[in-house]
Amino acid sequence: MRRRLAGRTTHSMNEIRDLPKVLPSSQDHFLDGPKLAPGITRFWLIRHALVEENARMCMYGAMDVPLCPDSLIAQRPMYRALAERLPKPAHWLVSPLSRTQRTAQAVQEAGYGPAKLTVEPDLIEQNLGSWQGLPYEELPQYLNLAPHPFWAVGATECPPKVKA
């Protein structure tokens, strides 16, 4: 039994139960949809994989720190799922940092296949100035503003001695 409620049609529980139990595939999603109009540009921003343990203890920013080898192995299923979902062909842009290049290689090796990596210097992570390499436990003494609840530094805090 359908009813009109505030301009919307509602359905009874029996009607809802009788709806086909079809889950959309990843290709039905806007970002993945093969039916997007020609000329639509999609950007997939992929964060680099987990860095090695010692680097995770400090503000590494634009430092070139290695990825965690154990995590690269453990996360192969995630890279495989990502490789299956990414559009082909695609332009792969990476920063000059090895962690971004190695993450892209891990996704390609997990099933995407070979693709040229174009190094784009403007994609490099934030330079943290004199905070670069500073252990997180020492950071609060250098802050002028309260930290963000989900990050060690608030968005309006400026690191000192940042190189352009």
Q: Domain locations in the chain?
A: 47-136
The top-scoring range by mean pLDDT among 58-62, 155-159, 160-164 is 58-62
Beta strand spans in 30-110 (E): 92-94
The DSSP element (H or E) to which 76 belongs, if any, is helix 76-85
Residues 6+ apart with CB under 8 A from 47: 103
How much is the pTM? Answer: 0.75
Give φ, ψ of 119 to 5 degrees: -80, 120
User: What is the structure's pLDDT at 39?
Assistant: 72
Mean pLDDT of 118-133: 95
What confidence category does residue 154 fall into, taking pLDDT thresholds of 50, 70 and 90? confident
Q: What is the pLDDT of residue 27?
A: 53
What residues contact 146, with CB distance under 8 A and at least 6 apart?
Answer: 154
8-10 and 92-94 beta bridge pairing: unpaired
Instruction: Could you please state the CATH topology (level 3) that the domain comprising 47-136 is classified under.
Output: Rossmann fold (3.40.50)
Amino acid 122 reads D
pLDDT in tens, 62-120: 999 999 999 999 999 999 999 998 988 899 999 999 999 999 999 999 999 999 999 99
| Rg of the Cα atoms in the chain | 22
DSSP string, 97-129: SHHHHHHHHHHIIIII---PEEE-GGGPPPP-G
What pLDDT, on a 0 to 100 scale, did the predictor assign at position 2?
47
What are the contacts of 135-141 at 24+ separation with CB within 8 A?
Answer: 135/57, 135/58, 136/57, 136/58, 136/59, 139/59
